[in-house]
Structure 1
Amino acid sequence: FHCFLLFPTCLYPHTHTRTRAHTGPARQFLEQALTICPTDPLIFHEMGVVAYKEADYKVAGDFFLKALNLTSGEAMEAWEPTFINLAHTFRKRGMYKDAIKYYERALSVAPKSPMIYTSLGFTHHLQGELDDAISYYHKALGIHPRDTMTTDLLKLALNDAMQEFSIKGDDD
């Protein structure tokens, strides 16, 4: 049962404060909402967003995990943003394998999302796995060819791969 069904506008004030980057009022509002609806996964998701904005990635990840645990398998497509946000928290903490796991979970419910492919590419890129990074960037651009950020990341990965190749070539 989700409290937002009883109070459909209850998260609007939080959205307003969050967009203005005032996490204090948003946090207070959400903590109050948790006292009313302590098992609502949407509130835990939003608490994770607030913690993420405060760069508290461990706490944010814990909130996102709690939200997913409370969903009890219902309409997982609706929880794609939570999978992505959780993956971002792992990536920010350098936990790349966990990040990839949750990006792939997000991809399983949203296989046409160029952002997920770009995020996977970026995570592989951070690990120096250039072939995988390039492949994911290409997949993202296959869906959204005019994405300048992904294009720039692809160029960086290709340059890194060329440098790596030339260094290996010099060693031979």
Structure 2
Amino acid sequence: MTTLVKWAIRHGVSHVALAELREMMGVDSTPDLEPQTGKSEAAVQANTRLAAAQAGAILWRNNCGALVDKRGIPVRYGLCNDTKQLNKRLKSSDLIGIRPVLITPEMVGTTIGQFAAVECKEADWTYKGDDHEKAQKAFGELVMSKGGVFTFANSPECIKGWL
């Protein structure tokens, strides 16, 4: 536990206030993004990352796919993309990150990092249950079964409940 975190605990400073101070001090890495307008998935994603950063969480872009390297060998990248078969069943989220969670009195003042996954969609999206969405939901259910948080997001407000 860092000196700054110990000081914050001793003085009852919330993790949100501490995150703001760390950001002001340039301690944490925040996305180099500007707020975007529009309803595209890219706009939802950028605005969701900014909302998370403002609340003390960090969300990184999780690109998934496969490319052929200079030797002609396919290279798979991204979470849950070890094989084509696995990626068909579990499609990892667009955004992967960590949110700070302040532990309650039993573990006084301890802050843990909780795994977070956000699957971004365009603003007017609704769940239809096609194979692609089912595989994305399966990844989210796996994350939640292990204590993480997951949501589909068609606006930054979708993550407010767990920030």
Decide: shared fold, TM above 0.5: no
TM-score of the pair, normalised by structure 1: 0.29
Bigger share in strand: 2
- Between structures 1 and 2, the one with greater helix share: 1
User: Higher relative contact order by CA 8 Å / sep ≥ 6: 1 or 2?
Assistant: 2
